[in-house]
Each structure stands twice: as structure tokens, then as C-alpha cells.
Chain A
Amino acid sequence: MAFRPYTIEELEAATNRLLETGAKVGADSYQSRLKNQTPHCGFGEKGICCRICRMGPCRITPKAPRGICGCDAHGIVGRNFLRFVAGGAATHSDHGRSICYTLYNAKPDGPYTVKDPEKLIRIAKEWGVETEGKDIYDLAHEVAYMAMEEYGKVFGTQRWLSRAPEHTRELWHKADIEPRAIDREISCSMHMTHMGNSSLPEALIRQSLRAGLSDGWGGSMAGTEFSDVLFGTPKPVDTSANLGVMVEENVNIVVHGHDPALSELVCDYAEDPEMIELAKSVGAKGITVSGVCCTSNEVAMRRGIPMAGNFLQQENVVLTGACEAIVVDVQCIFPALGPLSKCFHTKFITTSPIARMPDSDFIEFDVDDADKQAKLIVETAVRNFKNRKPELVHIPQLKTKATVGYSVEAIKKQLNVVTNSQVDELDTLQPLVDCITSGVIRGCVAMVGCNNPRVRPDTAHIGLMKKLIENDILIVASGCSAQAAARVGLMDKEAREICGTGLKTVCELADIPPVLHMGSCVDISRMCVLVADLAKQAGCNISQLPVVGCAPEWMSEKAVSIGNYVVATGIDTFLGVEPGVSGSDQITGLLTGGIRDWVEAAYTFEPDIDKLGDKMIERIEEKRKSLGI
């Protein structure tokens, strides 16, 4: 049968059916809470509400153009923006630190081992660490320690910056935005925005770029790279997506959040014969682990664990009535899951001191005993199977095929299949450069970011992706955007059938789907490495490449931090949701234009999704034109 992606209507019908169950048990939902919160505060929307000191809160109106301290709208908007970025950078980077800490505690017979020693050695060499004759765990501890030092280093800038092309590094140096210690950039941002410090737009935006870079080329990169060392560097793997991956006859465990450390072990135990036996003894056929949000992306990329849904699906998995446990680590977890789980038999298991919530069972993750905790979690879920209320069970039968796992390393390996051994080098991005230069592929778009109920969920992600691939534009995706693609089938290799001829040809030859899943939201650092390598291979600057970034439905502080490091890396970034800066034309002007003088890229804010797509295609074609290709 000809390939057809699911439509938004089909996805919504499934959600509506689940909401009926919710109504039956008296559950709350984000849809109803959204109604209660609408309209949003107009001052908050524009970023002109200042709550930084207790003289206020102050808000800017035509009659009151300055706060009590005299700060104008530009200062207030800029400070709010910088604090937003700092929040995101802190979040990603602390996640990265936690991974480094896990690596520091890896041991050959412990719950955590080094699964990709080659990558560890590669990073060690990159950092000038002697690897010869060294025990791999000694090396792991040494490198992990160095990585953690990056968070508090007294002098110097981030080590990974050396991965950027020369020209980019010069730009950062000239603009004075090379990130120093990660914690310092976050502290500095908080300091600058304290009452009585910066109100100069240019200074605030400069620091917001620097804080962003400390995330993308610092904390996030550590999170990605050392997760690969611990759990293996992703390579193409077949999996499935959408709510239909949950299996009614099985014990369903849903992992949710961002840090893969615990969920990796949960997946291990779900495959344990003892646990499967236990599941059978309680009347289930087996155990199914599926994922939501970025924890899902992590375990999908590395072991093909199916993806139940993205950010706004987190309540839906509970509403199926077939979820024995939803196990969460950090970030993007609705506190609503607590009360919602109480309407069903579902155990809501929190595991991190970072994300403590009412109405949850707290099983604290501890790196030395993580296997015991993982086993306890799986056992708890299995024993909960018998508490299901059969009359409430309904799993929407939407399920797609997806091929995921495209790390930079995997992309290069995959490109080898289109090389000619008589003339080409292996393990390079040259085939991609050739496809772009010849025009077969017009360019690439990095589709990232969350869902946001401000946008009809997933319409922007999916609508844009379909439009872009029809126009021969290759997509790399991460986070909830990647899951949106997977949910409707755009990561099925068959999706090449709805691409333009150019992209379709490339997908066929290289045996790839048109939307490449590069991982979770910290893995946008992979995209930074990818464009850096692409620019080096093509012999041009990153900003010259026909490549743009896009977060059409973003909502979190992390997303703005990402946006800042992507722009600062030289990639024009298109947002479908305006980042709360419309209250200041100066800040808006800097973000959408002024910063181009520093980093050769800027933001475009465009809530009309169709126009957003047109603008991206236009920008890509402009870049092609100036390159003469």
C-alpha cells in the first residue's frame, strides 16, 4: 500500500477518545487547564513585567514607561530574556553534569559500564589526555573529572569550542561570547540581571548568547558525548512510534523525562527473564517499555525502545488505562501526572531529587545502586498489573514504523553506502556536501523543540516537515519535534515517497528516512558538530551553508537557550512562538537582526506556520545563491 502519514485529525481523534475516559474518571487535562489560563497575562506575553525586586512587581505601560528603579522596557525585556536563557542553560548543563558523574562512577562490574570505549579514547585524545596503556575505567574517571571541571574552571573557555571551524571561533572571540566555565555563565547571567545591574540591551543579549553557548558547546555536549560513552553511540535502529506501541496484554512501563541513566537499566530489567516470568505470573503476556519526551528519544536511539509520544502525550499514556507505571527522571514532567495517576491504577514514580512532585512514589536514583532501583521499579509496575480497571483500558491503535539513531558518527557511516571506493574517501560528509552543492538536496533544516498548546499540537512540526521534504530539504530532528515526525510516520523510510524527487533519490540511495532522528534535546549539540564538520568539509563558513534551525512549537527555557547557541553558531533560527520580547523593539531588533553583525545569523519570529516555512525555504535559496550553487 502506498505510504501515507497519519493526519493531525487522526492524532486528535485518538486524544479525544482518551479524554472521554478522562472525563469518566473525573481527570483534569492540559486542555481544560489551558482554558482556565486563557487569556494569558498581557505583560508577561510581552516580557514587560519585572518581578526581580520587591519594590515591584512593575509593569510597563504607556503611562508608566519605567519601573520604580527607572529601568525601561528594553532593560526589563532583556533581563527576562537572559534569565530565561540561564534557566535553560542550567537545566541542560546540570543534566550533562549528572551524566559526567555517572561516567565518573562507571565500573566494569557496576550498574554502569563504558559501552563505547572507542569514543572515550577519541574524546580523551581530543583533550590531550594520554590514553596509551591506560585502563579504560581509569581513563573514564579522568575524562569525566575533567568534564566536570568544565563547569567550574577558573580560567579559560570551554574545551569543545575547538570543534568549531576557525572562522566561528574568531567570531565568538571578537564578539566576546566565548563561554567560560558553565556554572559561571549561569551565575553571571543571574548576577547581571539582579536588581541594579545590567539594563543595556546589547550587554544582556551578548550574555544570553554566551550562556547559550555554554549549554550547546558545553553542558549539552557533555551530556550527549558521555551518554554515548556510557550507553553506546546511536546507530540506525528500527523502532515504532505513537500510542499504539503500548501493548494491552503486557505490563506497560512508560519512561519519561530526559536523563537516560535510570531508564537504560529499567529497559534492561524489563528484558530480564525473571521479570518476564513474574509478569506472566500476574496474567500479563510480557513487559513493554515505551517512552515519552526525551528519555524516550535516548532509549529509542540506542536500543529501539518504542516511542509512545512527545511532551503533550504524557497525560495520554496514563489515560489509556493500560499504563502500570510512568517513571520519570527530570524536566518537562507535568505535575498533573500525580493527580491524574490517582484516577487510574498507574504508579507515578519520581526518581530524581531535582524533580520531586506531590502524589508520586519517590524511588531515589543513586548511581551505585541504580540496578536495585531499576529492578524495584520494574517489579512495582509488574505487580501493579492486576490493579488495572479493564473497563478503562483503551489504547488508540495508531502505530508507525521509524528508523532512528542518526548520530553524527552514524550519518557518516551511512553516507559510505553512496561512495565509490575508486574515487571517494570513507567516513566523511562529502556525499552530503555533494548532494547540497549539486542542488539535489536544496539544504537542511534542524527541526527541534517542544510542543506548546499555543499551537495546535504537532501541526507546525508536521506541516513544516512535509512542506520542507516536498521541497527537497533534508531534515534533522531532535526532541519532541523528532517524535512528532515519528508519530505520523515521517521517520519511516517509506516516507521518501512524499518527498521531492531530489530528496527521494537521496533517501533511496543512502537508505535513510527523509527526517533523521538525531536524539534528545541535549543532542542538538550533535547538530552543532554536524554543521561544523559540514562547513569544514565544504570549505565554507557555517553561516554560508544552506542550513537553518527551527523550533515551531517550543515552550521551555531550554528551547531558548538552544535557540541562542544555534544562532550563535551561525545558523539562522526560526521560531513559531515569539520568546516574550515583543515589549522591546530594541531587544527584538537585536535578536532578529543586530546579532547578525556578531555571529552572522539571527532569529526570525513568525507565528503563521505556512509563512514560517516559506521564509525558511527562501533563506535557504538565498544562501545557495550567494554561494553560487
Chain B
Amino acid sequence: MTLFDVIFQGNDAVYGLTEKAVDDAIAKYGADKKVGFPGTAYSIPCYYAVTGTKVGTLGELKDALAVVKTLMTREAKLNDALMSGVATALLAEFIEVLKYIDNDTPYEAPYTGHLPDPVIRELGVPLVTGDIPGVPVIIGAAPTAEEGAALVKSYQEQGQLVTLVGGIIDQCAEQKVKMGANVRVIPLGKDITAVAHVVSVAIRAALIFGNIKPGDAAGLMAYTKERVPAFVNAFAPLNEVIVAAGAGAIALGFPVITNEDTFAVPECLIPKVPVEKMNAASLEARNIKIKITKVDIPVSFGSAFEGEIVRRGDMQVEFDGSRVDCCELVHMKDPSEVEDHAFELIGPDFDEFPVGSKQSIAYVVEVAGKNMQADFEPVFERKFHSYLNCIEGLMHTGQRDMIRIRISKDTFNAGFRAKDLAEVLYTQIKNEFAAVVDKCQVKIYTKPEDCTRIRHEIAIPMFDKRDERLSSMTDEAVDVYYSCIMCQAFSPSHVCIVTPERLGLCGAVSWFDAKATHELDPNGPCQVVTKERPIDERIGEYEDVNEAVKKFSQGALDDVSLYSIMEKPMTSCGCFECICGIEPFSNGVCIANREYAGQTPLGMTFSELASMTGGGVQTPGFMGHGKHFIASKKFMKAEGGIARIVWMPKDLKDQVADAVNKTAKELYGIDNFCDMIADETVTTDPEELVAWLTEKGHPALSMDPMM
């Protein structure tokens, strides 16, 4: 049989199954029964993206089947084969969505099934920075469980986001491979149709970050091909349904690499690849480059371990800054004071602590370099969290003197000691900041009295000094801002303008970060933007900023304001931590953060709100932003500032309360302003919200109308 015949046959088979499943569901629930995936504004995503039509009921799903049928043409041409592949993926999504009727959680651990929008928004940054270099989709069972697990681990060690479908999941479980989003191994489901969930991720990335209009199938396929680094590893034996699904993957630009002896299509379908060569062959086929960070420590090191959790029972030792004196510090020194790669341990090593004990630690990284500036100290320091978490079996949380580190027994037993922690810090600082760091040495203190002294006599005064500088850092106090286009790999027309009082909307790039990024790589993603020719100070519009935005968005945007959400608001890439949108009844705005899954008074979830903007498009009334921006005096300053905030989820409110209250006091003289901001425990109903706000005397109610 020819390759295309196999694809057509697989596609026909899936069509038959889907048609029957939809008909059965209609017979059981009726055509008006609601269908959809939870946590997405694009339901049902793949079909919506390809056709531009949303499906909400079984009846509409039946109509959609007829549309899918039109894709299933049968001329022996690649176009027909690819479109039949796309049709197969859409049909798989139909079968999957039926599982969600009257059940938000048809998948049980370890299976994940559908992945909601916020997960994708969170993936945006690591994908663009190359932190997640690729997305392998592994289908079927490897010849042996050992080989399968080894392949999955090989991807995991490279920091790839591994998704699994079918027999490989049992193989991983058998081989005790840790699975879960936090370790970047996602078991989607047992059936081949579960592959629709990762296709859905790729497709929603195009809608969220790429501003691809639903229905623009060609634009969609070009986006996924160019910007989503996914690929398929399918294990023999391949049946016609897998081959048909594979054609769908190829249509989206994802090569299929298999150990099966089948047809070859250069760079698209690569057969007869031994399992041990699949990793290398796949990376080459998808043109994925792995940044190699070889750190000489006794355990693995890689971004895949960043989200790993060390539980109390598995813990060898813990350093807890909330209970005892701890701190982490980067300190700029004179070159004569630093000996490159020197390490000093002052106090006992990890093997001298009782198992499961709580200890003090202070690690000080001293750096020197001709181009080093004190302003970079906190920039490096904020990276420690990520560096240390990449160590297998080590968990790091917090920052400054409020850190907590846990080291697992396995890692300790592998020989991990203080010198290894120092080695990680040294290697990573030198790797990443070579442009400004000529010399670097690490000192680790583990005696409680040293830690107390360092914390209170050195660290805290330094932190205070930095905070003072930071608080004096206003937009007015600096001569330049920075552009950040780190996300353009994903969102080709978005530009962030980063100012001291407005960090990047992803929350990851402060003005200092942008400055450091610029100095480290002068031709890189962050460029100096002058602000010498103001147009309108009220909304924060400058001729030079506009010119920069126009240039860096390749002409997609003409003008932006820095301080308004109604007039020329800044665009979003889609990676934003929070979204705020106007709430017309109260004359204010509601904010939702990515982690919040519930409803807002706007009648929309975070995902639905987020879908209103993103992709580098200006949407007055909606704005993506970082969490820390909420307490900024420049937060929608043009519309009156934070006094407009009428609602945000409780968790978010708790996180930002101190800072917001402080700003409100300074701006308006209001004490405990957060107590006037409603949350989901108060209401998600707009009328009740207004009543509650009236009762609290919220300032927004008496402000000028926003619209």
C-alpha cells in the first residue's frame, strides 16, 4: 500500500469512529448538550483554530464533522495526505472532548489529558528563551521499557518538555521515571487520540502568542512550523491511525521519527531510526540546539529538574531562612580581592549535619570584572533560584535572606557536598555573565554564628541599600528605558518597553535586568530606548518610544502609551502573569492572575480574558502585565492609578497587599486599600460587586468614567 493510502485509510477509520461516538453521544444526551474542554477560551481549540468556528454543543460538533469531511480529499497528492492528517487530529480532538461531557476530570493521575490555557501561557517564556528547547511527543511503546525510559530521560535531561501517549507511559512508570509537569514529563493519555492534547497546545500557542486569526489555517501551520519546536517519536508497530495522525503532525511542521521500517520523507518522516539514535536524529530533524551546561557535580543538572519537589521524608538536610539565619549574596569586589574559581567552606560540610536537620547557610559569590557594575548584583542573585533548582534532588525557594534549600538523601548519597553547590554557582555565573564577570569565587558559611553575622552585618544593609536605590528609581529618574523583544521568537510583533516602574509583562524582566541584558549582549533583545521627546506625559507617550516600538515591531505598531490601558495600551505577547480588564459597572478594573482558574466579575476566566489580547495586538481596555506592576505608581496612571482596582483573586491580593497598600497610602492617603478590593470570596457577580464596593466606599465609584 502507498504511504498516502495508509494515511487515507487511517483517517477514514478515525472518521468512522468519531461519527459513531458523536451520534451515540447525541442519542444519549441530545444535540443541545454542552461540550468543551475546561480552562480554555478557544474551545474546542484545534477545530476553532483551523476553521474559525467555535463548537459548544453536540449538535455543533456534528456539523463540525461535516466540515472536517471536506478536508478529507483523496487525490494521491501530499496536500490531500496532509489535510487528511489535520482532519485526523481534529477528529481525535472530537473524541477527546466527548470524554469531558459532565466531567471536568476524565483523566486521572498520572494521565493529564487536556492542558488548560494558563499552562500554555506559562510555557511561553521558557520556550522563547530556549529553556525548554523542544517538545518531544512520544507515541507507543518502545521495544523495551528500559529503552523507552532512557529516551524519555535523555530528553528530560536536555530540559525538553516530553509528552507521552500510549504504552510509553506504562514503561516509564515501570522504570520509575518521575512524571508530571514539574519535571517536564507529561503523560497525556493511553489512547492515540490523546495526542490531540499536545496538538492543541501547539495550536493555542499560535492563537495566544502569534495573533493567528482562527480560521487562518495556512497562517496557523506556518506558525507552528516556524515557532513551535515539537516533533514526534513513534514506536513500531505503526498502524494506519498513527500514520494518519503523524501526517497531521507533519502538516504542522513537526517531523516524525520512528524505528519502524516504512516510507521515508526527508526531514519529515524519518524511519528505521534505532531507539538509541532517536534523540540525536530528532534534534537534527527539528533543528533544535541544546545549550550544554556541563557542571562537574555528582548528580544531573538541567532545567527539567527546576520544578522538582523534595519532600520532608526524602530530605537529608534543610536550610531554612525563615527559622534560622540564612542568606545568599552576590558581592562585587575589587579584582585583586578575587581569585577565580576559588572555593572556601567555613564550617561543617553537609555530611556533618544530622539527617533531616534544619541548618544555617550563607553563600556569598564574589565577582570582579572591568565591566561589572553594582547594579548587576541583584540581577545575578535572582538567578540563583533557577541555577540551584536545576540540580537534581535539590529544592530552592525564596530569595535574599528568606531562602529555603532542601537536599534529598539520594543526592547527598551520590556525593553532593557544599563544594558542588559552589561549583554550580560558579559555573553558571561564568557561563551566563562572561561579558562582565572576569573572576568569581564562592564562600559558603555553615556555622550559625557566621551566618547571623553575615546576614545582619553585611547582607541586610546591602539589601536595604539596594531597596533604597530601587525605590528612588522612578521613570522620571532615569534617562533611558529598554525595549525587550525576547518573546518575538513566539510573538513576532510584540515589544515590551521596560521602565523602572513598569517591568516586563512576563514578570521576568525588570529595568535592571533589561539594562544588564543590554550590556551583556549589546545587539541582543534589550535595546536602549530614549525618552527625550514627550508627546503626552499624562499617558506616558514619547516620540522616541514610538519610534522604537515601530522599529522593533517591524512596523506592526505605531504608538504606545506607558501608563494607560485605554489609549494606545502596551501590547502583550501572551506570556503575561496577570491580565486586567475594565469593569464597566464599577468604573474600575478587575485583575486575574494566571494561577486563578475561577470566574471574574467580567463574566470571563483568566483564559478568556487573556484571549482578548496577546499576540502583539493593542486591545484598549485590556492589558497584560507582571504581578509587581500592580503596586506601581504608574499602574494605569492615566486613568487614575491603582484606585481603579476593584477586584482580584484572593491569592494574588495576599501576595501584593503590602506593596499595594503602601502605594495607595502614598498616592491617595488611603489606609489598607486592599480591604476595599473585592475577591472571589466576596463575589464574582458584577451587581453584587458594585453593592459591596459602595458599602466599602471604594474610590473608583466616584472617579471619571473610563469610557
Neighbour of A628 across the interface among B2, B81, B280, CB < 8 A:
B2
Residues of A within 8 A of B77 (CB): 439, 442, 471-472, 500-502
| B78 on interface, CB distance cutoff 8 Å | yes
Q: How far is the CB of A70 from chain B (nearest CB, A)?
A: 54
Assess the A439–B3 pair: CB atoms within 8 A: yes
A165 within 8 A of B: no
Q: Contact at B272–A440, with CB atoms within 8 Å?
A: no
B273 within 8 A of A: yes
Determine whether A34 belongs to the interface, using a CB cutoff of 8 Å to chain B: no
Indicate if B264 sits at the interface (CB-CB under 8 A): yes
- CB distance A420 to B265 under 8 Å? no
Contacts of B2 in A (CB 8 A): 439, 624, 628-629
> B277–A422 contact, CB under 8 A?
yes
Shortest C-beta distance, B276 to chain A (Å), equals: 10
Interface residues in B60-106 (C-beta closer than 8 Å to A): 76-79, 81-82
The listed residue (B4, B78, B264, B285) touching A434 by CB distance below 8 A is B264
A440 and B2 CA atoms in complex are apart in Å by 11
**In the complex, what's the smallest C-beta–C-beta distance from A371 to chain B, in angstroms?**
45
Q: Could you tell me the distance in whole angstroms from the C-beta of B485 to the nearest C-beta in chain A?
A: 26
CB-contacts of B254-285 with A (<8 A): 263-270, 272-273, 277, 280-281, 284-285
Name the residue of chain A whose CB is nearest to the CB of B280.
Answer: A422
Q: B269: which A residues are within 8 A, CB to CB?
A: 438
Given contacts A423-B273, A434-B265, A629-B2, contact A439 B284 (CB under 8 A): no
B68 to chain A, nearest CB (A): 19
Choose one: B79, B264, B280, B281; the contact of A502 (CB below 8 Å).
B79
On chain B, the residues within 8 Å of A442 by CB distance are: 76-77
Closest to B250 in A: A505
Q: Is the CB of A500 within 8 A of B267?
A: no
- For A275, the chain B residues whose CB sits under 8 A away are none
Contact A431/B266 with A439-B3, A500-B77 known, Cβ cut-off 8 Å: yes
The reply on A32 being an interface residue by CB < 8 A is no
Residue interface bits B280-306, CB-to-A below 8 A is 1, else 0: 110011000000000000000000000
**Structural contact, B267 and A509, CB atoms closer than 8 A:** yes
Q: How large is the interface on A (under 10, 10 to 19, 20 to 34, 35 or more residues)?
A: 20 to 34
User: Which residues does chain B contribute within 8 Å of A415, judged by CB atoms?
Assistant: 266
Q: Which residues in window 631-658 of B have CB below 8 A to A?
A: none
User: Shortest CB–CB separation between residue B50 and chain A, in angstroms?
Assistant: 16
Could you say which residues of chain A place their CB within 8 Å of the CB of B4? 439
- Shortest beta-carbon distance from B255 to chain A in Å: 9
Given contacts A423-B273, A439-B3, A439-B4, whether A501 and B79 have CB atoms under 8 Å apart is yes
Contact assessment for B79 and A423 in the assembled complex, using a CB-CB cutoff below 8 Å: no
Check A420/B79 contact, CB under 8 A, given A628-B2, A629-B2: no
Known A438-B269, A501-B79: A422·B263 in contact at CB below 8 Å: no
A437 at the B interface (CB under 8 A): yes
Report B-chain residues with C-beta under 8 Å of the C-beta of A418.
Answer: 266-267
Q: Is the CB of A439 within 8 A of B81?
A: yes
Closest chain A CB from B285 CB (angstroms): 6
CA distance A621 to B2 in the complex (A): 12
Task: Say yes or no: is A421 at the interface (Cβ < 8 Å to chain B).
Answer: yes
**What's the Cα separation between A442 and B81 when bound, in Å?**
13
* A455 on the B face (CB < 8 A): no
User: Are A435 and B281 in contact, CB atoms less than 8 angstroms apart?
Assistant: no
A502 to B284, CA, bound (A): 22
The answer to whether A438 and B280 touch (CB under 8 A), given A502-B79, A505-B78, A628-B2, is no
The answer to whether A439 and B78 touch across the interface, beta carbons within 8 angstroms, is yes
A384 within 8 A of B: no
User: How distant is A503 from chain B, measured CB to nearest CB, in Å?
Assistant: 8
* B618–chain A nearest beta-carbon distance, Å: 27
The residues of A that contact B284 with a CB separation of less than 8 Å are: 420-422
B255 to chain A: closest residue by CB: A420
Q: How large is the interface on B (under 10, 10 to 19, 20 to 34, 35 or more residues)?
A: 20 to 34
A500 CA / B4 CA spacing, docked (Å) = 15
Does residue A157 face the partner (Cβ distance < 8 Å to B)? Answer: no
Q: In the assembly, what is the distance between CA of A439 and CA of B6, in Å? A: 12
Instruction: Give which listed residue, A422, A439, A506, A624, contacts B281 with CB less than 8 A.
Output: A422
Taking the complex as formed, is A556 at the interface, i.e. its CB lies under 8 A from any CB of chain B? no
- Nearest-CB residue, chain A, relative to B80: A501
A440 and B78: CB pair below 8 A?
yes
Is A419 an interface residue, CB under 8 A from the partner? Answer: yes
Query: Contact between B265 and A438 (Cβ–Cβ < 8 Å)?
Result: yes
Task: Contact check, B268 vs A420: say whether CB atoms are below 8 A apart.
Answer: no
Residue ID in chain B nearest A418 by CB atoms: B266
Which residues from B are CB-within-8-Å of A628?
A: 2
Chain A residues near B79 (CB-CB < 8 A): 500-502
Interface residues of A in 608-629 (CB under 8 A from B): 621, 624, 628-629
Contact B266 A500 (CB under 8 A): no
- Chain A residues with CB under 8 Å of B3's CB are 438-439
B78 adjacent to A423 (CB under 8 Å): no
Contacts of B263 in A (CB 8 A): 434, 437-438
Q: Which residue of A lies closest to B257 (CB)?
A: A420
Instruction: Contacts A420-B285, A422-B281, A423-B277 given; indicate if A439 touches B76 (C-beta within 8 A).
Output: yes
Q: Which of A429-459 contact B (CB under 8 A)?
A: 431, 434-435, 437-440, 442
Shortest CB-to-CB span from A509 to chain B, Å, is 5
Among A502, A509, A621, A629: residue with most chain B CB under 10 A = A502
How many Å lie between the Cα of A431 and that of B265 in the bound state?
Answer: 7
- In the assembly, what is the distance between CA of A20 and CA of B4, in Å? 54
Instruction: Return A346 CB to nearest CB of chain B, in Å.
Output: 48
Distance between Cα atoms of A438 and B243 in the complex (Å): 13
Contacts of B268 in A (CB 8 A): 440, 505, 509
Q: Which residue of A lies closest to B270 (CB)?
A: A420
- Chain B residue with Cβ nearest A431: B266
Closest to B266 in A: A418
B285 partner residues in chain A, CB cutoff 8 A: 420
The distance in angstroms between the C-alpha atoms of A505 and B253, with both chains bound, is 10
Contacts A421-B284, A422-B281, A472-B77 given; does A501 touch B82 at CB 8 Å: yes
On chain A, the residues within 8 Å of B280 by CB distance are 422
Q: In this complex, what residue of A is CB-closest to B263?
A: A438
Q: Is B265 touching A435 in the complex (CB atoms < 8 A)?
A: yes
Nearest Cβ on chain A to B161's Cβ, whole angstroms: 22
The reply to whether B266 and A435 contact each other, CB–CB distance below 8 Å, is: yes
Within the complex, the shortest CB–CB distance from A514 to chain B, in Å, comes to 14
What are the interface flags for A497-541 relative to B under an 8 Å C-beta threshold, 1 for contact and 0 otherwise?
A: 000111001100110000000000000000000000000000000
Closest CB in chain B relative to A32 CB, distance in Å: 46
- Quick one: CB contact mask for A236-270 with B, threshold 8 Å, 1 for yes? 00000000000000000000000000000000000
A420–B4 CA distance with the chains assembled, in angstroms: 23
Give the docked Cα–Cα distance between A431 and B263 (Å).
11
| Closest B residue to A510 using CB positions | B266
Contact of A422 among B78, B81, B265, B273 (CB under 8 A): B273
Give the docked Cα–Cα distance between A354 and B272 (Å).
Answer: 57
In Å, the complex CA distance between A213 and B153 comes to 59
Which one, B266, B272, B273, contacts A509 given CB within 8 A?
Answer: B266
Contacts of A422 in B (CB 8 A): 273, 277, 280-281, 284
- Complex Cα distance, B229 from A358, in Å, reads 67
Q: How far is the CA of A435 from the CA of B263 in the complex (A)?
A: 9
* Complex: A439 Cα to B272 Cα, angstroms: 19
Determine whether the beta carbon of B76 is less than 8 Å from that of A420: no
Whose C-beta in chain A lies nearest to the C-beta of B1? A628
- Which residues of the partner chain B approach A509 to less than 8 Å between Cβ atoms? 266-268
Residues from chain A with Cβ under 8 Å of B277 in the complex: 422-423
CA of A502 to CA of B3 in the docked complex: distance in angstroms? 13
Q: In the complex, which residue of chain A has the Cβ closest to the Cβ of B5?
A: A439
Q: How far is the CB of B302 from chain A (nearest CB, A)?
A: 22
Could you write out 5 A-B pairs with CB less than 8 Å apart? A418-B267, A438-B269, A439-B76, A440-B268, A500-B79
Given contacts A431-B266, A437-B263, A439-B81, 5 further A-B contacts (CB under 8 A): A434-B266, A435-B265, A440-B265, A442-B77, A510-B266
4 closest cross-chain pairs (CB), A and B? A502-B78, A501-B79, A418-B266, A422-B281
Residues of A within 8 A of B (CB): 415, 418-423, 431, 434-435, 437-440, 442, 471-472, 500-502, 505-506, 509-510, 621, 624, 628-629
